[in-house]
Amino acid sequence: MHMNSTMKKEILIHKTFDYLNRLPQDKVTEVAEFVEFLYQKHEEYILKKGIQKMVTDSKSFEFLKKKRNYIL
């Protein structure tokens, strides 16, 4: 049986939850802080990619391309 990525993600979440339930409070806190750090990095990456796409798709600087081609 071939699992899709959603099923794999759900299984990993469930396994992780089981492990977290067995850890002492201080370790759960440490894991939670690390997960928050990873989430923030992911959000920054998504934001950066969105800004790059906006700039790439924008026509605002089209005049610079035309001017550069004219000079060459």
Q: How far, in Å, are 12, 52, 68 from residue 57 at the CA level? A: 37, 9, 18
3-state secondary structure string across the chain: CCCCHHHHHHHHHHHHHHHHHHCCHHHHHHHHHHHHHHHHHHHHHHHHHHHHHHHHHCCCCHHHHHHHHHHC
Residue 52 has pLDDT above 60, yes or no: yes
pTM of the model: 0.64
What pLDDT does 41 receive?
97
53 pLDDT band, cuts 50/70/90, is confident
Q: Residue 40 corresponds to which tokens in the numbers above?
A: 């923030």
